[in-house]
Structure formats: C-alpha cells, structure tokens
Chain A
C-alpha cells in the first residue's frame, strides 16, 4: 500500500511535470491525498487528466460566477478548484454555482471540501446523478460509485446555510432528557452557593 505521503509527493511532482506551477502543484498534492484519504479515486482521475493535458485544450477560469459556461472547451478542474478555494469567501454569497462543461470533475471535490472548512459552511454538490456533502473538511458523504468521469455538463454547487438538521420540538425533547442529570436546588444550597449573601448593589 502506498502511504499518503507518497501519494501527495507523486501527485505534486506529476502535476509540476504536466506544467502546473509549483504552488498549484502543492495544492494538487494535498487535494489528491485528501481524496484518497476519504476513499475516493484521486490518483486515477489525476493520472487520466494529466495524461490528456498536453493533447487537449482545457479552459482556465479566473473569476468564478454563478453560471460558468464554456461551450466548446471543458474547464480545467484544477483551475476551477484552486480558484474556488481562493474565492470561497465571495462565492458563499451566491446561492448556486453551476459549471456547464467541466473535465475530470472529481478533482474539484477536495477543493470544495477544503473550502467548506475555510468558510465554515457545509457545501452540497450535485455531479451527474451523484451527491456530495462536504462537512467542514472532516468528512465527505456521497453516493459516488468511484467511476471515472472524464467530463460533465452537470456540476452544481450550493452552500448549506448552517441550519440544524432537527426541529425545535425534537431539540426540546432531548433537552428534557438531559435535565435528568441536574439536581434540584434546596433553600440551604441557595443560601450557600457562589455569590450568596452578598449584595450586588455595593
């Protein structure tokens, strides 16, 4: 088995070898390591993308908006991922972010996971028929079947507004059970507890 350190190093070097800058290659190394740690096929997707990069054109993106359309040339997933990470603070104000034509979309996934931690919000992703929920870079919940996706026209990102997964009634019920750990206060304990016997108006 390859160690995660080897996965990160080789991904970084391969990315540099394929023409990315060192700074971006460092991001790719960390990201592929993250994918593999979460059990997602990062090495396979990176290998396939880097093998194609010299013979195919991929669209770089600079500023990400709500609708990112590139009709003829698919977006580069690394450019999308790195810029999403850098612009996450602005992007969280947008409800939905859509990419019309994106190569090797799984390579964007770790950047979304890291963005979720940075902005402190859960992020949802719809990729074809698969859903991903990014939980502050602590976990990724997904029904992804680990297939190789070389291109997608269906890549929709939305931010979860830090809402509870439960209603107030459920919370109150649980709170009541938690109260069983409390002890009723007696008159004598009221008189002797912290602050007792003093006037706060002195």
Chain B
C-alpha cells in the first residue's frame, strides 16, 4: 500500500507545528545514539570552596577530541536574569576543538564569561551560559551537605539545576564558521556540537553541586545518588531568537519535517506489524503518560494543551485496549487514521512521535538527512519564466493568497532586531516605532505582493527580466523557487497577523531539539528541559534509547 506524505498545507500551519513533541528523530536523542561509543574524561576541575573556577571535560574517539570549558563565577542574586539583556551569568561555557592548553584557558577566561561582548576564535565551536535554578540548586546542596538525598518529587518540579539562556554556534562572535567543520563525519547530524555542549554542561552542574556540598560539610556530605542525578536534565529559557531561525533556514526546516513525515509514511506502509513492535510502542505510550504528569506550568495556554492531551490519551488507550483489532494488516495506518479523526492536533502529533519508537532502521536512515546546505539553493533560477513563478505560488501558497493584507489585523505585527542586544523582537506595528526597519520575515505578505505584481505580466517573461525592475521583491522570488523543491520549507501562516503565537514557532524548533516540559512564560518565551533521564557520560556505553520515557518515573 502506498501512503501519501501528509499535505504541507495542513502540517505547516503554525498551530500544528506548535503541537510537535520530541521523537526518536530529535537531535539530543540521535546525538546520544551516535556518540555513545566516545570516551569521556573530566580533564580539569579547579573550583574554590564555593564552586567558582574552571573545569574542562573532554570527549574523544580515535584522533578526534572536543572539550567543554566551563567557567563558574560569583553572581549576586540581583544580577541573575534569564533575559537576553543579562550581562553576567552563574556559569559560561565553550566547546573547544581539541584539548585546550593553559594559554587557551587563560584567553577563554577573559572572553567566555563576557559572552556576546567577548571574542571567540576558530578554535571554539559553540558558546553558552547558564544560571542556577536557585531553589533546586540550594535545596540539593542543603540535602547533600547534611547527608541526605534530595526528594525526587521536589526536584521534579524543576527538573534541572541550571538552565541555559542561549547556545551560539556557526561563526557567531568569532566562533568557527560552519564550513571549517562541515566535512567532519561525526558531526554531520544536525546541531551535534550544540547538543554536545548542553550534555556536558549538565554533567558540570552535577559535579559542581556535589563539590560544593562536600566542601560545605566535608564530614557529613554525601554524593548525589546516580538515579537522581540521571533524572535531572538541563533547563533552557528560550525567547524569540529561535523564531526567525526557522524562517531564515527554509531548507533545514523542510528537511526536519520531511524526515518526520517520511518516517510516518513508512511506518503506515508496514503491512505486517510485528507483535513486539506494537507492544514496544504501547509500552512507550504508557510510560510517557507518567512523564506528562511531571510537566508543570503556570501558563493557561499550556495547561489547556496538557489537559486535552491527557484526556485524548486516555481515550486512545481505551481504543487500543478495547476496540482495536491487533490482527489486522497495516496496524499503524489503522491507528493513525483513528487518531487523525478522533484526537486533537496536540495529541495526533504526540502519537506520531511515539510511532517512531520501535523503528530504529527507519529513523537511522533519516537522521543524516536532517542537515541542510542552504547555500546550494541561494541562486535564483533567473532563466525560468513568470508562468513558473505564478504556478508555484498558486500551488504552494493557496491559503496565503486568500489573506487580505490591506486589513490592519493581518499586518499588526512586525519583526525587528533590537539595538541593545541585536536580538529578534516582535512588536505591534500600530503602537511601536521602527516598523520601517522590519526584518524580511513577513513571507506570506511578500509572496502575496509578488503574486499581485506578476498577475498581469506575460507568461513568457523571464524572471531575470522581471527582477531588473522588481528587486524589492527579490527575497520573495528566492523563497518561491525554494518551496518548489522543498515542500515543507514554508510556514503556511501569516506570522505578522494579530493571532500570531510566537511560542508555536519556538516549540516547533525545540521539539526537534528533543526538549520536554514546555513551560510558556508568556506568548513570547518559554522554559524547557533537555536530557532529563538521559544516561550520564560514564554510563553512555550501556546506553538505552528509551531513556526519555523513564525519566522521573
């Protein structure tokens, strides 16, 4: 049986994309699968009694070595801020290419803690910073230094000791350009270096909390129990920076979604589903519900989503246990059709993620396709005709063409870069200044403008001739030709309209990273947790990929 890929016009709606969950294709999971044979070592750990100082962790395989260099600094409570405008953090980190010398560490100590205003070099690959979750960190120190293990129930309210507030890569602030390292086979997969940094930051936070506890009360202190340590992840506060990223990397976005959709299609096409594969899926489903119970948020928006998800999953389990005939062919296709007709978008996408769990062979083939070389498709095929442009727009932007951009509500927002931190922001066009400096993210509006502009032109006119007089729409022309080749490259929504929920865009990206515990703090930023339940670095060689459903159980 041949199953069609799901329609981009349906899947690429923001509400749907904002319902995506982590899956076996998510980067932190595929990172651990790919790196579980690497050797980990704590090379340096020079902290004072309060836990301030420098630490270095290395990760090696054959001749290749990467090192996480950590700087922990004193930070007054009134200086601690997760906002991007912060200038000081509890700890800062860089992933170094190789093993740093003493001289390298000296240089890095002057720059890494300064983050955006420091200067990195091509020897540094990624850069990050993090703040303590004071309630979790102090609580664990208090327990351990008094010889007690912390309560897992209490820790599960937070889920981590530190949360990062940014992870930079790809040439930012002088870091290595992507082209320098893109041919390294071990980091061909998406965001490998960012995942590596975050994974070792988690280990640093565990080592630091043990170290401080020991120094606080050397005679009584005990080490954090490994099971509890494993149940701690690393948090992350994420603002709008991620939103423009997915608009500005259309081919990468396409490749992520296409991989997921291809996996779903292949699984639905399996005629004889093995009993053990179905059972494994069902086991993951049931385990995952325990996880959902640990998702805490004050956001009414997210609470409602979690509530609906829980109700839907109870309904779904009842269907599988009572109504569903496991002896039929194309089991997962039958399940998908039921889910698609009976559950909400949030729950459909949750179940789609779970479908992937039994199928290593499908997922492992798709993981390498989830990177992209955007440069390859930068040049506009100017020899093409206006007719081509028109046909592609009509075929791929059907709903976009129905939006009336003369109405204020459809152009209410504009995206811009803030002057003080050079970070993306979104604001009301009619209330805030600066809309003339709008970033080119209003793809829907600009493609519609392009469509109107070419409406009365001759079909035979070349794009080259059109551009000679219409270079103001050059960026839109480029996009249209990309979407022709990459059907999942475009968000099929108006991201400057009054109904925009920016966190839907953040959640899309974070789900591919493998984040859990989405906790929106407003419609523009949220907190998440990564690597919660993942094996610790010294356990990687006895690695089990279903760790994600065992965290905090």
Q: Which residues of B have CB within 8 Å of A85? A: 379, 382
- Report yes or no: B177 in contact with A23, Cβ–Cβ below 8 A: no
A30 to chain B minimum Cβ distance, whole angstroms, is 7
Q: Given A5-B171, A24-B471, is A86 in contact with B177 using a C-beta cutoff of 8 Å?
A: no
CA distance A137 to B380 in the complex (A): 16
B438 to A, closest residue via Cβ? A22
Mark A107-136 against chain B: 1 for CB-CB distance below 8 A, else 0. Answer: 000000010001000000000000000000
CA distance A24 to B469 in the complex (A): 12
Provide the main secondary structure of the chain B interface: helix
Would you list which residues of chain B between 146 and 189 have a CB under 8 Å from chain A? 170-179
- Report yes or no: A86 in contact with B468, Cβ–Cβ below 8 A: yes
Q: Say if the beta carbon of B324 comes within 8 Å of chain A.
A: no
Q: Given A3-B175, A114-B379, is A21 in contact with B468 using a C-beta cutoff of 8 Å?
A: no
B94 to chain A minimum Cβ distance, whole angstroms, is 14
A140 to chain B minimum Cβ distance, whole angstroms, is 17
Mark A14-28 against chain B: 1 for CB-CB distance below 8 A, else 0. Answer: 000000011110110
Q: Say if the beta carbon of A63 comes within 8 Å of chain B.
A: yes
Mark B369-391 against chain A: 1 for CB-CB distance below 8 A, else 0. Answer: 00000000011101100000000
CA distance A114 to B475 in the complex (A): 18
Q: Given A26-B475, A86-B468, is A1 in contact with B174 using a C-beta cutoff of 8 Å?
A: yes
A79 to B, closest residue via Cβ? B471
B119 to A, closest residue via Cβ? A1
Would you list which residues of chain B between 369 and 420 have a CB under 8 Å from chain A? 378-380, 382-383, 417
A33 to B, closest residue via Cβ? B177
Q: Say if the beta carbon of B118 comes within 8 Å of chain A.
A: no
- Report yes or no: B378 in contact with A23, Cβ–Cβ below 8 A: no
- Report yes or no: B468 in contact with A23, Cβ–Cβ below 8 A: no
CA distance A80 to B473 in the complex (A): 18
CA distance A4 to B178 in the complex (A): 9
Mark B452-475 against chain A: 1 for CB-CB distance below 8 A, else 0. Answer: 000000000001100111011111
B162 to chain A minimum Cβ distance, whole angstroms, is 27
A56 to chain B minimum Cβ distance, whole angstroms, is 20
Mark A86-101 against chain B: 1 for CB-CB distance below 8 A, else 0. Answer: 1101100000000000
- Report yes or no: B475 in contact with A21, Cβ–Cβ below 8 A: yes
Residue with the highest number of chain A CB atoms closer than 10 Å, among B121, B175, B382, B417: B382
CA distance A191 to B54 in the complex (A): 74
CA distance A62 to B470 in the complex (A): 10
Q: Say if the beta carbon of A70 comes within 8 Å of chain B.
A: no
Q: Say if the beta carbon of A51 comes within 8 Å of chain B.
A: no
Would you list which residues of chain A between 134 and 165 have a CB under 8 Å from chain B? none
- Report yes or no: A2 in contact with B471, Cβ–Cβ below 8 A: no
Q: Given A3-B174, A62-B469, A86-B382, is A23 in contact with B464 using a C-beta cutoff of 8 Å?
A: no
- Report yes or no: A1 in contact with B468, Cβ–Cβ below 8 A: no
Q: Say if the beta carbon of A67 comes within 8 Å of chain B.
A: no
A37 to B, closest residue via Cβ? B179
Residue with the highest number of chain A CB atoms closer than 10 Å, among B178, B471, B475: B471
Could you say which of A1, A13, A86 contacts B464, with CB atoms under 8 Å apart? Answer: A86
Instruction: Write the residues of chain A forming the contact surface with B, with a CB cutoff of 8 angstroms.
Output: 1-6, 13, 21-24, 26-27, 30, 62-63, 82-83, 85-87, 89-90, 114, 118
**Can you sample 28 A-B contacts with CB below 8 Å?**
A1-B174, A3-B122, A3-B172, A3-B174, A4-B171, A4-B177, A4-B179, A5-B178, A6-B171, A6-B172, A6-B173, A6-B174, A21-B472, A21-B474, A22-B475, A23-B471, A23-B474, A24-B474, A26-B474, A27-B474, A62-B469, A82-B467, A82-B471, A83-B468, A86-B468, A87-B464, A89-B383, A114-B379
Instruction: Write the residues of chain B forming the contact surface with A, with a CB cutoff of 8 angstroms.
Output: 121-122, 170-179, 378-380, 382-383, 417, 440, 463-464, 467-469, 471-478
